[in-house]
Structure 1
Amino acid sequence: MINQSIFFAIHPDAPKDMRVFGDKIKSSGTRGSTKAVGFESKDFQPTPGLQIPELISSFRGGIDTILFSFPSVPLYGNTERTDAYKSLIQALRIGTNFIIVHYESDRETIGNWFTAAGHSLSAISWVPIPSYVDFTDWAEDAYVALRDAHDNTFYLMEPWEFPRSGDQLLADSIEEYTHLNSIQAPLIFQGGNCLIADDFWILGKDYYQDTIDYIQDHTLPLRVNPGQKVEDLVRQSFSDYVDKNRPMFVAGTKKKIPLAAYVGSKENDEFILDIVGAGTGPYQPIFHIDMFMSLIGKNEEGKFEMMVGSPKLGNELLGLSDRAHNLQAAYDEIARSFEKEGIIVHRNPLVHYPEFTGRKIPIKYLQNLAIQNPDDKDVNSALKDLYSLGARENDFALVRNWHHITSNNCLVENSEKFGKHVYLPTFGHGEYTQLSALDDHMKDLWESFGFTVHQLGDFNSFAKRQGVVHCISKFIKRSD
């Protein structure tokens, strides 16, 4: 992963709550409502402990209960983020139940967002967090949601560690204020790197490999027995803790992706330092699979269908140039791996989008960073690029950051009761009107699969932080 301190040294104005940071493992407010909206009361005692874990689907069934985390209303104010959230709240079906993680002082403002959209406050379970605890709005990642098929109890399953802000504290608070249970697994995963289909579920390879590595270096408390392969232990452990009945499909490239985080280039006599690796994983073209994959469901022939993003299609749609750091080959390899499993894979445009930060960085400054971080191959590689193009220590380089514009990161419900709906972010707003071609294309594509498309507001500010709609929400319960 990209070195966080070097990234902010080069791009100090970048959002501090980017989804990709805090992604690697490292060796009292007033009580609110305690009702659990959307969950039936039980007339029997559930069996203690998790017996048959079953992940909540990423696409199948209506959205019965969904979770959001709002770290601070002043953070949003009247900004683009507020409007994006309001567009999603407005689009979700009346009767949907919500769990809202928030600061107590923001409850009235947040409640007004929901009532203005026609939702009842009785549909909300409030989970207040002490004002001195930092957390993010990336509600998808700190756990996976599952139910115990043995007694129909619901759980938030946490990974062994989750080092992003205070998000690792949220599951315990949610357990306190709802009927959800909090539990932990000795495994490495994040919700955004998992997608759950009917007959299988998908884990991004980065965390699969991390789990193997941390077992081998004894970071995780799992023991490989004599004659046992570590890979078999990992799969068995994910079955025991995460999903008992669905087989796990690992999505990623066979070999590590050879990408430097920074690339030096020259355009129109200007030296440029491109930040190209902030959203890339070791075996994944984007660090979470929910950023470049979407599940559709089974067709009339019973074949499962899905989408996998393609930067090449995105560049063709927008008239942009293909670049090596778009990593087209990695997306193609992953798409082929699913096709070999008998899954129908549709390709959709996805854009690795460049944006100048307004910052000019002295080559001398980069030299000093390289001296201070001699083991960091990325910044040294970029310096070599710039030197080869004629840059010298008294020259400057424009800093250009690349982020992913992806409609794959959406909310999908394929329901017998409610029909087929998809909630899509849009990007073709203001100075980004060029991206409206992507919005239109994705609307047409989902409609061709029989979905009603709900186009949401402007999600550019989220995409710049390497996350979109699926990242800021968590499916807790699905209806038929």
Structure 2
Amino acid sequence: MKKPMSSVYGEIKRMLLTYPKSNPLPNDITLQRYKGIFESLGNNIEYIILADNSAHQSIKQTALNSGLDPDTNLNLINARVNYPAHVNRLIRQISGNIWECELESSWHSIWAQDGYCCLKDDEGNSILIEPLDFTRNGDNFVAEQIAARTNIQVEVTKYHIEGGNILAGDNYVIVGSDYLHYNRKITGETDEQITSGFQELFGVENIIWLGFDNPVNFPIDVFQGTYQPIFHIDMYITLGGKSENGRELIFVGDVNLAKSVLEQESPLVEIASSFDKTAEWLSGYSQNGIEFEVVRIPLDLWNISNSQGTFLSYNNCIIEVFGEAKNVYVPSYSSVAPGSINRRKLDETVASIFNEHGFNVTMLSGAYEELCKNGGSVHCITKVLDRE
């Protein structure tokens, strides 16, 4: 029977990274992020990396500089970008049936998390489940390229899924409610049928739809979803394993807490309150023996203009709970610059909160602020393919 790859339980053994460029620079920021991941998560992991052949040597050198053995820890897969591209739009008719077209790129992005979900069967095989309609850049070609060079399998689902909007515990899966509404449109199914379909797809009895009854109406653009405060729940929700009282420990982003740490005014109430409502709903959830113990961590809304803002997400981290170990790998947004004192306050507060709940905390460096400007962070650029 297939089960979802947990977002929290088990020691990480295989991880997918998707390198987005073909010609790395000497101080390439993606390689800096890889170095932080390699050094922190260590050499007990096989890192499967999809990258153009021209970048392989730089990635190998980065692994060596991080204490890894490229021959043991790296599985570098040469990316292919000559797939038939989707047509974005027709520009003009040249003659007869010949048209000038704008094509979607078939080159994959850095966002390794999103184009699929990972399951594991009874024999321990990893299976990438991808939707029929996910076409961002060339990310819809990633799973097939990985399967061709590994023992990982690929299956297709009629449902729209993206890894960043789906988190798996041991006997439940939390899904951002945008996908309930969207799948209703593309499949014509009822909410009950979609829930049943997700239960069958993920092999769990409990599908928890996380979001609001009515669409969000924020005054500025913050990468919000339609029925959820951010378009992917991994930007503001983190599963933490079992708490001491047996409940499911869950960390929920708190915009007001971030501003309190920084001794700044609270941001727009319409946005900040949406995370409070999410935390309240999870605190009151009690079905089929599943209850949550909610812990709040800072989620800083910054870089606000008249039309948009950016979240610095600490929820977008990597967790592994196994045996007596509880590890969390958290993106750091601070630097040694004197002007970074506020970011250090946030980093230290988040580390302290995780530490209070028994976690060994590792702060990862790698210009994650730049990822946040595009709606993601460290969890978004990694995909766990196996845990033990």
- TM-score, normalised to structure 2, is 0.87
User: In 2 relative to 1, CA 108–166 (structure 1 residues): closer, same or farther, beyond 3 Å?
Assistant: same
Q: Deviation per CA, 1:42-83, whole angstroms, max 9, x where unpaired?
A: xxxxxxxxxx32110111111111110001154665144432
Matched residue of 2:319: which SS? strand
Counterpart residue number, 1:420: 326
User: In 2 relative to 1, CA 64–320 (structure 1 residues): closer, same or farther, beyond 3 Å?
Assistant: same
Matched residue of 2:246: which SS? coil
Counterpart residue number, 1:23: none
Q: Distance in 2 between matches of 1:131 and 1:215?
A: 30
Q: Distance in 2 between matches of 1:347 and 1:110?
A: 36
Matched residue of 2:309: which SS? strand
Counterpart residue number, 2:371: 462
- 1:476 is displaced (CA, Å) by 0.5
Q: Distance in 2 between matches of 1:63 and 1:247?
A: 24
Q: Distance in 2 between matches of 1:102 and 1:326?
A: 41
1:179 aligned to 2:151? yes
Counterpart residue number, 1:407: 314
Contact 2:131 2:160 in 1 (8 A): yes
- 1:123 is displaced (CA, Å) by 2.2
- TM-score, normalised to structure 1, is 0.71
Matched residue of 1:404: which SS? strand
Counterpart residue number, 2:94: none
Matched residue of 1:350: which SS? strand
User: In 2 relative to 1, CA 190–77 (structure 1 residues): closer, same or farther, beyond 3 Å?
Assistant: farther
User: In 2 relative to 1, CA 326–77 (structure 1 residues): closer, same or farther, beyond 3 Å?
Assistant: farther
Q: Deviation per CA, 1:259-289, whole angstroms, max 9, x where unpaired?
A: 24xxxxxxxxxxxxxxx31410011111100
1:259 aligned to 2:259? no
Counterpart amino acid of residue 340 in structure 1: G
Counterpart amino acid of residue 124 in structure 2: N
- Runs of 4+ aligned residues of structure 1 deviating over 4 Å after TM superposition are none
Contact 2:31 2:59 in 1 (8 A): no
Q: Distance in 1 between matches of 2:231 and 2:160?
A: 14
Matched residue of 2:303: which SS? strand
1:442 aligned to 2:386? no
1:123 aligned to 2:73? yes
User: In 2 relative to 1, CA 146–331 (structure 1 residues): closer, same or farther, beyond 3 Å?
Assistant: same
Counterpart amino acid of residue 328 in structure 1: A
> Residue 471 of structure 1: which of 359, 375, 380 is its match?
380
1:233 aligned to 2:205? no
Q: Distance in 1 between matches of 2:270 and 2:108?
A: 31
User: In 2 relative to 1, CA 425–147 (structure 1 residues): closer, same or farther, beyond 3 Å?
Assistant: same
- 1:320 is displaced (CA, Å) by 2.7
Counterpart residue number, 2:203: 244
Q: Distance in 2 between matches of 1:165 and 1:251?
A: 27
Gaps of 5+ in 1: 1-51, 217-223, 225-229, 261-275, 357-398
Q: Distance in 2 between matches of 1:292 and 1:92?
A: 22
Contact 1:53 1:240 in 2 (8 A): no
Contact 2:176 2:211 in 1 (8 A): yes
1:295 aligned to 2:239? yes
Contact 2:115 2:163 in 1 (8 A): yes
User: In 2 relative to 1, CA 177–80 (structure 1 residues): closer, same or farther, beyond 3 Å?
Assistant: closer
Matched residue of 1:245: which SS? coil
Contact 1:280 1:286 in 2 (8 A): yes
Gaps of 5+ in 2: 83-105, 286-290
Counterpart amino acid of residue 296 in structure 2: R
- Structure having the higher Rg: 1
Query: How many equivalent pairs are there?
Result: 356
Counterpart residue number, 1:351: 300
